[in-house]
């Protein structure tokens, strides 16, 4: 004899929500009423972002650069970048054809590393014909996880990176080996933040990457005061062949990111559409309303 349980007899107590005008129409208005203010908020925030206040972020942007190309994306060895010594000297096959050069393993191997952005940008403030360099902070631009987990220098005796990278060669396009990217030990080798930022591949062919930070000095003055600035670019990185463009962007970051009109407008639009739909449905409801007031049959 079957058990007489609610589940087996399919008599579990249930809530049967029935969409009615009374429940649905407010939802539309509520969505509209929430989204429009959010959109306005975002829009205003985005518009109020100034390039010179608080901490200023300096980005370089590239366009028409396919960092999301499958074979490009694959062309790296995460073990090597994670400091695995065997991978250092024997990089993964994925790195081909940037795996070895002249029979020496490349460190870091692969096409991504090989094509690392290597222009240098320097910002000067021109004040009465004197050029004061703006301090550009190069640390703190990478994600904590990347800097501390994903990327690690090979381990060995001592901290001498030159020795640790012994037996490897630099990527073909690089002017200098990986252990000479920076003078500071905690920003050199695989944990060089410029390198890490580059290695975090972009999702789309038009992208920007964080290059430097300009820290706010004191609270009274904007970080970048009004005036003339000059940007000095050491042009190393060719983009002409693929119709690429290079850009430098200065921006501060609000709670919702950098300057970006899209999100605000999108929110306002969606909110308005909801509101509009609510009105349309309300009209329909008034037309049909009387007909199905008794439609809810209790089960």
Between residues 69 and 139, which has the closer beta carbon with respect to another protein? 69
- When asked if residue 253 is in the footprint of another protein (CB under 8 A), the reply is yes
How far apart are the C-alpha atoms of 175 and 166, rounded to whole Å?
Answer: 17
**Residue 50 and residue 222 in contact, taking contact as beta carbons nearer than 8 Å:** yes
Candidate residues 196, 277, 279, 290; the one interacting with another protein per rule CB under 8 A: 277
Which one among 33, 134, 256, 279 touches another protein, defined by CB under 8 A?
Answer: 256
Give the residue from 101, 81, 87 showing the smallest Cα distance to 170: 101
Shortest distance, position 170 Cβ to another protein, whole Å: 16
Torsion of CA 216, 221, 225, 231, to 10 degrees: -10
Question: Minimum CB separation from another protein for residue 272, in Å?
Answer: 12
Q: Which of residues 152-191 bind another protein (CB under 8 A)?
A: none
Which residues fall within 8 angstroms of residue 15, CB to CB, at 6 or more apart? none
Q: Which stretch binds another protein (CB under 8 A): 131-139, 185-193, 227-235, 258-266?
A: 258-266
- Tokens 């090597």 locate to 80
Q: Work out which of 89, 121, 270, 279 binds another protein, going by CB under 8 A.
A: 270
Token pair, residue 288, equals 């049909």
For CA atoms 215, 220, 222, 225, the dihedral sign is: negative
E strand or H helix that includes residue 234: strand 228-234
CA-closest candidate to residue 173, choices 211, 119, 121, 209: 119
Contact 52, 226 (CB under 8 A): yes
Site for another protein in 212-231 (CB under 8 A): none
Nearest approach, Cβ of residue 115 and another protein (Å): 4
Q: Are 215 and 57 in contact (CB under 8 A)?
A: no
Contact 64, 245 (CB under 8 A): yes
Sole binder of another protein in the list 47, 85, 143, 185 (CB under 8 A): 143
Number of residues in contact with another protein, rule: CB under 8 A? 99
Q: Does 8 bind another protein (CB under 8 A)?
A: yes
Q: Which residues, 18 to 77, sit near another protein by CB under 8 A?
A: 18-21, 24-25, 27-28, 31, 35, 38, 42, 57, 59, 61, 63, 65-73, 75
Q: Which is nearer to another protein, 27 or 185 (CB)?
A: 27
DSSP at 154 = P
Q: Does 129 bind another protein (CB under 8 A)?
A: no
Q: Is 243 in the site for another protein (CB under 8 A)?
A: yes
Q: Which residue number, 70 or 220, has a Cβ lying nearer to another protein?
A: 70
| Among 29, 124, 207, 229, contact with another protein (rule: CB under 8 A) | 207
262 binds another protein (CB under 8 A): yes
Which among 124-132, 177-185, 193-201, 222-230 is the span making contact with another protein, rule CB under 8 A? 193-201
Among 170, 184, 96, which residue's Cα sits nearest to residue 137? 184
What whole-number distance in Å separates Cα of residue 57 and Cα of residue 63? Answer: 19
Q: Does 203 bind another protein (CB under 8 A)?
A: yes
Binding residue (CB under 8 A) for another protein from 150, 170, 212, 246: 150
Cβ-based nearer residue to another protein, 125 or 260: 260
Token digits for 278? 């609510």
């Amino acid at each position: 004899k079957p058990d007489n349980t609610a589940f087996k007899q399919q008599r579990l107590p249930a809530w049967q929500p029935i969409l009615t005008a009374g429940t649905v129409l407010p939802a539309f208005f509520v969505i509209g009423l929430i989204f429009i203010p959010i959109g306005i908020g975002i829009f205003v925030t985005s518009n109020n972002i100034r390039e010179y206040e608080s901490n200023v972020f300096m980005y370089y942007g590239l366009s028409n650069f396919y960092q999301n190309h499958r074979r490009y994306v694959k062309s790296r060895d995460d073990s090597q970048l994670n400091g695995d010594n065997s991978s250092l000297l024997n990089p993964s096959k994925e790195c081909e054809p940037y795996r070895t050069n002249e029979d020496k393993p490349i460190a870091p191997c692969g096409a991504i590393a090989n094509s690392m952005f290597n222009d240098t940008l320097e910002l000067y403030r021109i004040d009465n014909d004197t050029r004061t360099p703006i301090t550009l902070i190069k640390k703190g631009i990478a994600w904590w996880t990347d800097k501390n987990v994903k990327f690690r220098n090979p381990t060995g005796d001592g901290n001498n990176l030159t020795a640790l990278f012994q037996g490897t060669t630099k990527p073909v396009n690089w002017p200098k080996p990986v252990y000479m990217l920076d003078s500071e030990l905690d920003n050199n080798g695989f944990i060089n933040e410029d390198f890490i930022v580059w290695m975090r591949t972009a999702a789309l062919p038009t992208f920007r990457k964080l290059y430097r930070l300009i820290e706010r000095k004191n609270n009274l003055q904007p970080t970048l005061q009004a005036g003339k600035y000059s940007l000095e670019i050491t042009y190393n990185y060719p983009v002409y062949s693929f119709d690429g463009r290079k850009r430098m962007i200065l921006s501060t970051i609000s709670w919702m990111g950098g300057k970006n009109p899209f999100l605000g407008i999108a929110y306002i639009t969606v909110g308005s559409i909801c509101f509009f739909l609510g009105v349309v449905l309300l009209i329909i409801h008034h037309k049909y309303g009387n007909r199905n007031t008794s439609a809810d049959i209790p089960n």
